[in-house]
Amino acid sequence: MGLKSPSYYHLSQDQSFPSFRSLSKEAPLFKVDKSAIAKANKKPVTGRDTGAVTILTSGCHFSGKLYCRGASRVGGRIEGQVVSEGLLIIEEEAIITAEIKAEEVIIQGRVEGKLQATGRVELASTSFFTGDISTPVLVVREGAQFNGHSAMIKREAPVSGNGKQLRPLTSNGGKGTNKKTDGVTPDVNTDSRIEVPVHSTPEVNVRAL
């Protein structure tokens, strides 16, 4: 078998291969959509990104009772009552005139009314609050405006087995002052208790039979 001779192609003076620079100008390998990038950069942060679901966006108006479950955001205008079982974030654009009951509240916008929280309440630097706040923990950031009253929820004292609240004991067993005696016969008080003073040991209160 004979081998075929290679074929040769000749270019005339008027013909030439296109340069790499001309190819990049006429047909770019990667096309970039600048408008899409600009829209992506301007896209606001959603509730999914922050862990909170947006219930009412900016520009919306709601009148009545709003019930939220879990972490939620509100950014519109609300009049009435807001009940949240979880974290409630009031955005900077929000204007709320209502009674709010929630576990934890972060206020960044304007709120007027009564706020009751079983957990922490934070007033951000951009917040405006007018009304009453009832919470065990209140955090007011620098720049926040708070006009009203705040009531700190008291923690209940521990309860004993018979349902009575326990009082803290003092060094003398809950009494005012004790008279120190060196005699053998102990003192008998009006509360039917016998005090047995023992040196270098704590006092022992024994109820008389």
Q: Are residues 98 and 143 in the same domain?
A: yes
Q: Are residues 74 and 116 in the same domain?
A: yes
Q: Which of 3-12, 13-22, 34-43, 84-93 has the lowest mean pLDDT?
A: 34-43
**Looking at residue 94, what is its pLDDT?**
94
Which segments of 32-165 does DSSP mark as H helices, in order?
34-42, 47-50
Which helix (H) or strand (E) segment holds residue 26: the answer is: helix 20-26
Are 106 and 89 within 8 A, CB to CB? yes
DSSP assignment of 154-192: PPPPPB-TTSPBPPPP-TTSS-S------SSSPEE-TTS
Assign 190 a pLDDT band (cuts: 50, 70, 90).
Answer: very low
**Looking at residue 57, what is its pLDDT?**
83
Q: Are residues 198 and 102 in the same domain?
A: no
- Give the span between the Cα atoms of 114 and 34, in whole angstroms: 48
Q: Are residues 79 and 175 in the same domain?
A: no
Q: Are residues 78 and 115 in the same domain?
A: yes
Q: Where in the sequence is the domain holding 93, given as residue range(s)?
A: 47-152
Q: Are residues 79 and 145 in the same domain?
A: yes
**Looking at residue 100, what is its pLDDT?**
96
**Looking at residue 88, what is its pLDDT?**
94
Q: Are residues 203 and 110 in the same domain?
A: no
In single-letter form, the type of residue at position 172 comes to N
- Give the span between the Cα atoms of 185 and 192, in whole angstroms: 15
Q: Are residues 147 and 186 in the same domain?
A: no
At residue 208, the 3 state secondary structure works out as coil
Instruction: Report the chain's mean pLDDT, rounded to a whole number.
Output: 70
Q: Is residue 66 part of a domain?
A: yes
Q: Where are the beta strands (DSSP E) in 8-109?
A: 53-56, 61-69, 72-74, 77-85, 87-90, 95-102, 104-107
Question: Does 173 score more than 50 pLDDT?
Answer: no
**Looking at residue 181, what is its pLDDT?**
46
The residue among 148, 202, 152, 140 whose CA lies nearest residue 173 is: 202
Q: Is residue 115 part of a domain?
A: yes
Half-sphere exposure of 72 (CA within 13 A, CB side): 17
Kindly report, residue by residue over 68-93, the tens digit of the pLDDT. 888 999 999 999 999 999 999 999 99
Q: Are residues 179 and 90 in the same domain?
A: no
Average pLDDT over residues 151-170: 56
